[in-house]
Structure 1
Amino acid sequence: MCSIIEDIYQEGREEGRREGREEGRAEGRLNSLFDTIRKLRLTTGWSDEEIVDKFSISDEDWKLFLASN
């Protein structure tokens, strides 16, 4: 009985780690996108609309970017 409980516990821990890594990767990609947008704003002089259009940034991602600044 004890090993079944330990197995379930271990599986839960491993699943939590996987989910955490996936969330971390997604957050990292989003932060990278935000960094790129900031650099483009400074170096190219492109307007926000031009950046959104050129890189097909979703409305949701754009709202997150604006909230992060």
Structure 2
Amino acid sequence: MIAYIHNNPAHHEFVTDPADWPHSSWHTYLMAKPTKLSRKEGIAWFGGAEAFVKFHRMQKNREVILQFED
């Protein structure tokens, strides 16, 4: 669900990449600055920061997006 939400602006063509949306928590997950977001837990669900980014990039694929919309 996290990746679905982060990719929504790209899916609807407001931006071409989820990292380009300035109002996204995407940036918070990847920064070192303290936050109230459960960043470590969220990153762990993906298997680490690299996997987090990789999954988000993969989700641009329409088939991955559709699995969350069904």
User: Structure 1 length as normaliser, TM-score?
Assistant: 0.33
Larger Rg: 1
User: Structure 2 length as normaliser, TM-score?
Assistant: 0.33
Higher helix share: 1
